[in-house]
Amino acid sequence: MKGLVFSIKKYAIHDGPGIRITVFMKGCPLDCWWCHNPEGKQTGIRMVERIDRVGDREFRSLEQVGHEYTPEEILAKAESDRVFMEHSGGGVTFSGGEPLMQPEFLRETLTLLKNSGFHTTVDTSGHVRPEVLKSVIPFTDLFLYDIKHTDPEVHRRFTGAGNELILSNLDMLLAGGSDVMIRIPVIPGVSADILYMKQLAGFIGSRNNGHIREINLLPYHKTGSSKYRRFGMEDRMASADQVSNGHLDDYIEILKPLGIHVKKGG
């Protein structure tokens, strides 16, 4: 069995969960306007042009986006960094794209990692069948879970799907005692708004059963723009501004009374 991955990166998160290997998997059921990993939305392997610049010279080549890995190969990568991960309290994260679009590969890899003593995290959009999500719970220490918008129509407009499944899956995880880190994309014209943040604070507060470990505010940024050009995709956020630090501080103040650690980025 093989999984299709577009990148594997190592991160050192100093104010968070240590040194982590993140496996970015291809394919996603949503189509968020602000996605900064558009290569993760696409399924299949693609060849795209790569341009390297040295001084005023340009070198063009073709780069393969998407590589297949077996669960054992992912485990071997984790093993090569075991000592760093153990000393820093880190582990392995699956992100994307939507890792649960490749459920058999994900389940088998998580099982191998858990049986080998690694901390495991799944970063999910939550837009997956409940039975698929349930099937990875026993092998997942932490879920990173996006709430893109609580209003189903706004959600549908900016992601291509309603939020009903996502919110009911979140309730299922929390009711079952899974640890969840809630991630809030802070998007101009969508969720970067004082009134919305107050409503969101109420929504999260009504579900706060002690298993919401942290809230991450993820401000919209332009790092994905060049990728849209490179992959020949439309950038629907081209005219949007970045979110100011001052506004993020205001949103943090609104969420703080929940008693859950809130931070910028994640």
Which of 212, 145, 203, 153 is closest to 177 using CA atoms? Answer: 212
Nearer to ligand SF4, 35 or 240 (CB): 35
Nearer to ligand SF4, 137 or 161 (CB): 161
Shortest separation between residue 40's beta carbon and ligand SF4, angstroms: 5
Per-residue tokens: 200: 């969101």
Shortest separation between residue 128's beta carbon and ligand SF4, angstroms: 11
The H-assigned helical ranges of the chain are 38-41, 71-80, 82-88, 103-115, 130-136, 152-159, 164-175, 194-205, 225-230, 245-255
Nearer to ligand SF4, 32 or 182 (CB): 32
Instruction: Give residue 210's region: left, alpha or beta (phi > 0; psi -120 to 50).
Output: left
Residue in the structure block whose two tokens are 């299949």: 44
Where on the chain is the footprint of ligand SF4 (CB under 6 A)? Answer: 28, 30-32, 35, 37, 40-41, 96-98, 125
Nearer to ligand SF4, 118 or 145 (CB): 145
Shortest separation between residue 44's beta carbon and ligand SF4, angstroms: 16
Shortest separation between residue 79's beta carbon and ligand SF4, angstroms: 28
Shortest separation between residue 221's beta carbon and ligand SF4, angstroms: 12
- 3 state SS of 153: helix
The secondary structure of 2-47 as a DSSP string is -EEEEEEEEEEETTTTEEEEEEEES--S---TT-S-HHHHS-S-EE
Nearer to ligand SF4, 40 or 91 (CB): 40
d(CA 168, CA 118): 28
Nearer to ligand SF4, 30 or 212 (CB): 30
Contacts with 16 (C-beta within 8 Å, 6 or more apart), sequence order? 266
Q: Residue 180 to residues 62, 71, 87, 262: CA-CA distances in angstroms? A: 39, 24, 23, 13
Shortest separation between residue 12's beta carbon and ligand SF4, angstroms: 23
Nearer to ligand SF4, 152 or 205 (CB): 152
Which of 145, 146, 141, 266 is closest to 216 using CA atoms? Answer: 266
Shortest separation between residue 266's beta carbon and ligand SF4, angstroms: 13
